[in-house]
Amino acid sequence: METEPSFFETSPTPNVVGKPLNRVDGRDKVMGRAKYSAEYPIPGLTYGVLKTSDIAKGKIQSIDTSAAAKQPGVLAIYTHLNIPKLAVTPNDADGKKAIGAPMGFMPLTSDVIFYAGQPVAVVVADTFERATHAADLVRVTYTTEQPIAAYTDPKAKIFDPAKIQDGKTDGKTRRGDARAALASAPVQLTAVYTHAINHHNPMEPGATTAVWDAPDRLTVYESTQGVTRTQKALSTMLGLPQDQVRVITKYLGGGFGCKGSCWPHTVLTVLAAKGVGRPVKLSLTRKQQFTSMGHREDQTQTLTLGATKEGKLTTLIHEKTSTTSPWDNYAESNSKIINMLYDCPNFEASYQLARGNVMTSTYTRAPGEAPGSFALESLMDDLAYKLNIDPIQIRLLNHADKDPTNGNPWSSKSLKECYARGAELFGWSKRNPKAGATRNGRLLVGMGMATASYPVHNSQGMARVRLYADGHAVVQSGATDLGTGTYTVMTQVAADSLGLPPEKIRFELGDTKLPTAPNSGGSVAAGTVSSSVYMAAQDVWGRLTKLAIKDKKSPLFGAKSEEVAVENGRLQLKKNKAKGEGFMALMKRAGLDDIEGSGSGKYGAGYETGQAASPATSGNAEKPATHSMHSFGAHFCEVQVDPDLGTVRVTRWVSVHGAGRILNAKTARSQIIGGSIFGIGAALMEATHRDNQFARYVNADFADYHIPVNADIPDMTVEFIDERDPYINAMGVKGIGEISMVGVSAAVANAIFHATGKRVRDLPITPDKILATKAV
C-alpha cells in the first residue's frame, strides 16, 4: 500500500466527494425512463412463465401439456423431458462450485420434487397473459411423500456440519476455554432466540430477458447484483467461453442479497430462449419470488454469557440450529459478530442444521450479523439490567480495543464516539433507567440501543477512464447500482480524481463488457469500485505525465515523473506549482482527442497485504492483514407499546456510524435509514409462515408478508463519525449497506424491554407476543 497512490494524499480536500450531491440517475428514475431488466422492448420478444410444483416432496408422475399447447400464441412448453440440456449443472459433482451457484440443485433436470414452488415447466407464448394461462393449464400429477418443513419438525434429523455458508465458515469455532470460563463465572446468563423466515422482497421481482444473438452468443438483461457472477455462472453451465455471454443490468430494483447469485429461473429463461429461437422475458410473480431467490432461514440461537460481577464478559457460547435445503449446508454465520464485538477472552460457537424440503437460504442483508447481533445485543441488555449498569456503560466496559479474535489492532474504530454522539442526539441521559416506568397515557414508552458492526471483506475490481481533451470523461466499471447510489458516488470520485465537475463525468456500469467489478454485496462495492475508479484516473495522469515530460512545449519538459503532481486536473511540479499546465492543452498539442487509463482497486485485507481477491467474489485473504477491518455504529430506538393491544410503534430513531470515508452525505444517510427500516421490519412484522404438513408458504404475498409502510416509520436522525482509515483501500471507504441493519432488531427489542419490563426473544415481535408477556 505504501507505493500506491491514495486519495488522502492526492485529494486532501475533496471538492465533490462526501458532498450531498443529488443522484445523477435521479431524473431517469423520477421520469420513468430508467429501464429495469424486464423493460427492454426487444423485437420479437416473447414471454416466459414458470409453472411451479404444488407439492414439496415426491416425483412427477405425468405432465400433460396438451391443453396448454392448444392455447393461441403458445410457442413452447419445456419440462425436464424436453428442455435444452446444460453442459454443467449444480447437481453434478463439483458442479455447484464450478458454477458459483447459490444452490446445489437445478430444476427441470429430473422428475424429483424437493421443495414447494420448484419449477416444473417453462411456458413461452407471444403475450404475458397467454403464457401465464397456458402455464396454469399444464397438468402435472405427482406421487407425493411427506415433506419435512423445518428443523422444528420432529422427523427432521439434526446434524453438525463441518462447514456452513458454502464452505466458507467452520461449523465449530473455539477460542480459549469457554465452558471452563463459564463454570467459574460469577454472573451467568443464557437465553434462546428465534428468528422467523424473512424474505428480501425487493420491489422489483427477479427478472431475466434472454437474447441469443447467435447460436453460441448470448445477451441477458438480468436483475442481478453482479453481472460478472451471472456471466460466469451462465457461461459455465452453457459450456460457452465467458466472453460469449453478456450480462447487462443498468437499473436494479433492489436486491438485499437475493440478487447476489444466479438462480434457476435465470438459467431456465436462457434455455427457453435457446429452445424457441426468440428472445424470452421472464419475471417472477411476487409469489414465485418467495421460492425462487432464497430467504433468511428460520433459526434458533442459544446464547450463554459469563461475566464478572462488574459486568466484564469472560465467556460467550453460541449455538444455532436452522433449516437448510436437501443439498446445501447453508446457514448465516451468526457467530462471527458474537466472536468479535466485545472484549471477551473465551468463545465457542457451533452450528446445527436439519434438511427440509425447502430451497437453499441465502445471504440476506447483514447475513449472520443481523440475527447474531439480535441475540448478543439482547443478552448484553439483560446483563446491564441484571447488574444495574447503564446499557451504554456495559458496552463501554466490554469495548474491544483490539480484535478479540486475533489480537490485531483495528484499522479504525469510532465506536465510543458513536455511543457518545448517539446518546447526545437521542437524549439518552433523560431516560429513566428503570424498565416499565415511563408512560405516555396508556402507552408504555421505552428507549433502547444496540451496537452495530460489519466487516470490511476482501475484494478487488477494475475500472476504466477515458478522458477527453474537451474536458469531459467517461468512466466505466462493471458494477451494479442496487439503489445504493453507485452511479452517483462513482461520478463524485471520478470528478475529484480527474479535477472535473461532476456534470462532466458520465459513469457507466452494469455490463460485462465493462471492466470487471465485484458483486454489489457484503458492503464491498463502494470501497472497491471507488478505489478502482481512482486508480484508473491515476493511470491516466501517469500517461499524461509521461507525455508532458517528453513534450518540449510543455512547462514540465524534462522533469522526472515523480516530481510531477496533479491537482484539480492540472499537472504541475510538486515543488513549484506555478510550473505546469492543464491536461487539455497537453492533449491538444499531442493530437489526442482522448486518453484512456485503467486501474484496479483493492479493498480490505488484500489492499493491506497486496494479495489478490477473486474479482467477482469476495473472500478471505490467505495472508492475514496486520489490521482488523470493521465498521462500527450504534442505533438508538424509542418505542411506544400499547400493552392491551400489543402494538409497538417506533417513535424516534438515531443511528451514528463510523464507516470510513462517506462518499455522499445524502445517499449515505438514505442507506442507513433504509437499513434501519429493513431491520425494524424484521424486528416487528416480517415472517414467512411455512405450513408444517405441506412445507409450503401460506403468506407469500405483500398483503400478508408485512414489510414496513410509511406510517410505521418516524423521522430518523443519522450521523457519521469522520474516519480516516488508510489501511482498507485507496479511498478509505468501508461501505454501509449492511451495518445499517445490524443491531436494529436488538435496539427495538431492548426498547420494548425498557417500555414493558418484558423480554421478547422471538422475532418478529408481533402483538400476540407482547400480549403473551403479560401472562409471564
d(CA 179, CA 632): 29
Q: Does 636 bind other proteins (CB under 8 A)?
A: no
Q: Does 67 bind other proteins (CB under 8 A)?
A: no
Compute the least distance from the CB of residue 127 to other proteins, in Å.
6
CA-to-CA dists, residue 376 to 301, 676, 749, angstroms: 10, 18, 12
Among residue numbers 681 through 700, which ones bind other proteins (CB under 8 A)? Answer: 684-685, 689-694, 696-700
Q: Does 706 bind other proteins (CB under 8 A)?
A: yes
The angle at the Cα of 134, spanning 141 to 279, to the nearest 5 degrees, equals 120
Compute the least distance from the CB of residue 29 to other proteins, in Å.
3
Among residue numbers 189 through 208, which ones bind other proteins (CB under 8 A)? Answer: 200-205
Candidate list 163, 179, 274, 286; residue touching other proteins; CB under 8 A: 286
Neighbours of 691 (CB within 10 A): 14
Compute the least distance from the CB of residue 71 to other proteins, in Å.
9
d(CA 475, CA 463): 7
Candidate list 18, 254, 521, 604; residue touching other proteins; CB under 8 A: 254
Strand order in the sheet with 580-582: 564-567, 570-573, 580-582
Compute the least distance from the CB of residue 466 to other proteins, in Å.
27
Candidate list 387, 714, 757, 762; residue touching other proteins; CB under 8 A: 714
Burial of 85 (0-12, 13-18, 19+ CB in 10 A): exposed
Among residue numbers 661 through 680, which ones bind other proteins (CB under 8 A)? Answer: 666-667, 669-671, 673-678
Compute the least distance from the CB of residue 711 to other proteins, in Å.
4
Taking every pair of C-alpha atoms in the chain, what is the biggest distance, in angstroms?
88
- CB-CB contact of 366 with 738 (8 Å): yes
Q: Which stretch binds other proteins (CB under 8 A): 84-92, 124-132, 352-360, 369-377?
A: 124-132
Spell out the SS3 assignment of 534-595. HHHHHHHHHHHHHHHHHCCCCCCCCCCHHHEEEECCEEEECCCCCCEEEHHHHHHHCCCCEE
Task: Please report, to the nearest 10 degrees, the dihedral formed by the alpha carbons of residues 82, 87, 89, 91 taken in order.
Answer: 90
d(CA 751, CA 166): 35
Q: Does 364 bind other proteins (CB under 8 A)?
A: no
Q: Does 483 bind other proteins (CB under 8 A)?
A: yes
Among residue numbers 41 through 60, which ones bind other proteins (CB under 8 A)? Answer: 41, 54-55
- CB-CB contact of 375 with 334 (8 Å): yes
Among residue numbers 546 through 605, which ones bind other proteins (CB under 8 A)? Answer: none
Among residue numbers 369 through 408, which ones bind other proteins (CB under 8 A)? Answer: none
CA-to-CA dists, residue 212 to 36, 74, 86, 246, 275, angstroms: 19, 19, 15, 10, 10
- CA-only gyration radius of the chain, Å: 27
Q: Does 126 bind other proteins (CB under 8 A)?
A: yes
Give the nearer residue to other proteins in terms of CB position, either 601 or 674.
674
Give the nearer residue to other proteins in terms of CB position, either 96 or 281.
281
- Which position has the grid cell 444496540? 450
The helix (run of H) or strand (run of E) holding residue 374 is helix 369-386
Q: Does 217 bind other proteins (CB under 8 A)?
A: no
Angle between helices 665-684 and 744-756 (to 10 degrees): 50
**Residues near 703 by Cβ (< 8 Å), separated by ≥ 6?**
none
Compute the least distance from the CB of residue 298 to other proteins, in Å.
13
Q: How many residues bind other proteins (CB under 8 A)?
A: 96
Candidate list 6, 8, 19, 39; residue touching other proteins; CB under 8 A: 39
Compute the least distance from the CB of residue 46 to other proteins, in Å.
9
Candidate list 35, 179, 506, 570; residue touching other proteins; CB under 8 A: 35
537: left (phi over 0), alpha (psi -120 to 50) or beta: alpha
Compute the least distance from the CB of residue 524 to other proteins, in Å.
18
Q: Does 744 bind other proteins (CB under 8 A)?
A: no
Give the nearer residue to other proteins in terms of CB position, either 6 or 285.
285
d(CA 458, CA 607): 8
Q: Does 22 bind other proteins (CB under 8 A)?
A: yes
Q: Which stretch binds other proteins (CB under 8 A): 391-399, 554-562, 705-713, 728-736?
A: 705-713
Candidate list 161, 253, 311, 455; residue touching other proteins; CB under 8 A: 253
Bond into 72 cis (ω within 30): no
d(CA 692, CA 690): 6
Candidate list 9, 33, 167, 557; residue touching other proteins; CB under 8 A: 33
- CB-CB contact of 422 with 344 (8 Å): no
Q: Does 146 bind other proteins (CB under 8 A)?
A: no
CA-to-CA dists, residue 506 to 463, 465, 473, 534, 598, angstroms: 13, 10, 6, 15, 16
Q: Does 119 bind other proteins (CB under 8 A)?
A: no
Candidate list 132, 144, 405, 609; residue touching other proteins; CB under 8 A: 132
Catalytic residue numbers, as ranges: 738
Q: Which stretch binds other proteins (CB under 8 A): 11-19, 154-162, 602-610, 643-651?
A: 643-651
Q: Which stretch binds other proteins (CB under 8 A): 101-109, 278-286, 408-416, 420-428?
A: 278-286
Q: Which stretch binds other proteins (CB under 8 A): 9-17, 125-133, 408-416, 587-595?
A: 125-133
Give the nearer residue to other proteins in terms of CB position, either 310 or 701.
701
Which among 529, 740, 714, 522 is positioned nearest to 617, based on CA atoms? Answer: 522
Q: Does 279 bind other proteins (CB under 8 A)?
A: no
- CB-CB contact of 477 with 460 (8 Å): no
Compute the least distance from the CB of residue 717 to other proteins, in Å.
10
Q: Does 251 bind other proteins (CB under 8 A)?
A: yes
Q: Which stretch binds other proteins (CB under 8 A): 123-131, 388-396, 498-506, 513-521?
A: 123-131
Give the nearer residue to other proteins in terms of CB position, either 144 or 405.
144
Neighbours of 644 (CB within 10 A): 12
- CB-CB contact of 308 with 386 (8 Å): no
Q: Does 351 bind other proteins (CB under 8 A)?
A: no
Candidate list 92, 111, 136, 417; residue touching other proteins; CB under 8 A: 136
Angle between helices 525-550 and 486-498 (to 10 degrees): 20
d(CA 360, CA 161): 15
d(CA 653, CA 714): 7
Q: Which stretch binds other proteins (CB under 8 A): 304-312, 370-378, 480-488, 518-526?
A: 480-488
Compute the least distance from the CB of residue 428 to other proteins, in Å.
21
Name residue 560's amino acid.
K
Compute the least distance from the CB of residue 352 to other proteins, in Å.
24
Compute the least distance from the CB of residue 6 to other proteins, in Å.
29
- Phi/psi at 199 (5° precision): -115, 140
Q: Does 152 bind other proteins (CB under 8 A)?
A: no
d(CA 614, CA 623): 14
Compute the least distance from the CB of residue 405 to other proteins, in Å.
31
Q: Does 256 bind other proteins (CB under 8 A)?
A: yes
Q: Does 482 bind other proteins (CB under 8 A)?
A: yes
Give the nearer residue to other proteins in terms of CB position, either 156 or 549.
156
Q: Does 716 bind other proteins (CB under 8 A)?
A: yes
- CB-CB contact of 248 with 220 (8 Å): yes
Q: Does 93 bind other proteins (CB under 8 A)?
A: no
Which among 647, 764, 634, 637 is positioned nearest to 711, based on CA atoms? Answer: 647
Q: Does 245 bind other proteins (CB under 8 A)?
A: no
